[in-house]
Amino acid sequence: MIKIYLLLICLLFSLIMRSQEDICIGKRYTLYSDVLQEERGYWMHLPESYGQDTTKAYPVLYLLDGESFFHSLVGISKTLASGRGKYLPPCIIVGVLSTNRTRDFTPTSSAAERNGKVSPNVIPQGGGSEIFSRFLIEELRSIIDNTYKTNGENMLIGHSYAGLFTVNTFLHHTELFDIYLALDPSLWWDQGKLSKEAAELIKGKDFTGKSLYIGVASKKRTDRVDIHLNRVNHLLTEILPQAHNLHFFTRSFPEENHGTIAIPGMYDGIKQLFGK
């Protein structure tokens, strides 16, 4: 009898072991960037249907700060691409990993603080967004488009400094992406220079076929004073509504701060941008 029990236990254990499988949501890759002169990493997620239909092509979501938000965005995309609440088509997700965020995401070199003031002897930093943009388009996107079944529709998602990069790309290089999702963009940078330039940058442009969402963390802070919300509100209420044929959405999140807005902002942004 004991032998029979032992045999049954061994068989049960074998079945359990056979049923265990890893849950994999993506793969890690690296490439050497000649533009940036450094090794850069990115994470890839392919939709479940990717290998089932060899003729189908997919839009691509480029997520900045991928190491922070990749897992969340994959979960959000799976939720919003299936079931009754289907908003998003199945997408390829590329999470771009960060190295030097200030250098890569800011459009100008600046020594100004969040309150707009410049302290003595502070060395200006940043200003490398144009170079990073070249890496993103000329090198990374080239690999993605030549390796995977992409349909030519591209979306850019960024938070904080990466949100600043997203808005800057939308204003200066609108043609590079079809859909832009910026979460609490750091428009205080360089004394709010980008928001000051925005009116001139959209003048005479036709934004047909382009979509933009900006989510703002509006929970009040008592630990510092900055010009962030003033710059964001000016852009949202005075400038962007004037953009010709722009598919524009915005939302304020009074319960979220700068550090917590990313996930609810991505969820709401995708619903708004892809809603019927």
Strands (E), the chain: 27-33, 38-45, 58-64, 92-96, 150-159, 179-183, 211-217, 247-253
Distance of CA 122 to the CA centre of its chain: 30
DSSP 258: T
Nearest Cα neighbor of 174 from 212, 145, 141, 142 is 212
* CATH at 181: 3.40.50.1820
65 domain-assigned:
yes
59-108 pLDDT, tens digit each: 999 999 999 999 999 999 999 988 766 889 999 999 999 999 999 999 99
167 domain-assigned:
yes
Q: Which residues lie closer than 8 Å to 185 by C-beta, 6 or more apart?
A: 158, 160, 163, 164, 166, 167, 214, 232
Q: Please compute the mean of the pLDDT values over residues 227-250 and round it to a whole number.
A: 89
Q: For residues 24 and 61, what is the distance between their CA atoms, to the nearest angstrom?
A: 18
pLDDT at 11 over 80: no
31 domain-assigned:
yes
Lowest mean pLDDT among 32-41, 214-223, 253-262: 214-223
pLDDT of residue 4: 54
201 domain-assigned:
yes
Q: Which residue bears the tokens 């800057």? A: 168
Q: Which domain holds residue 135?
A: 24-110+125-274
Summary mean pLDDT of the chain: 90
Residue 263's SS3 state is helix
pLDDT at 140 over 80: yes
Q: Please compute the mean of the pLDDT values over residues 191-214 and round it to a whole number.
A: 95
Burial of 111 (0-12, 13-18, 19+ CB in 10 A): middle
Q: Which residues lie closer than 8 Å to 46 by C-beta, 6 or more apart?
A: 26, 92, 148
Tokens describing residue 129: 């967004």
| Full-model pTM | 0.90
Q: For residues 171 and 168, what is the distance between their CA atoms, to the nearest angstrom?
A: 5
129 domain-assigned:
yes
Q: Sorting pLDDT into bands at 50, 70 and 90, what band is 19?
A: low
Q: How many domains does the chain have?
A: 1
231 domain-assigned:
yes
pLDDT at 6 over 60: no
17 domain-assigned:
no
Q: pLDDT: is 14 or 190 the higher one?
A: 190
pLDDT at 131 over 80: yes
182 and 160 Cβ atoms separated by less than 8 Å = no
Nearest Cα neighbor of 270 from 128, 156, 101 is 156
Q: Please compute the mean of the pLDDT values over residues 223-233 and round it to a whole number.
A: 71
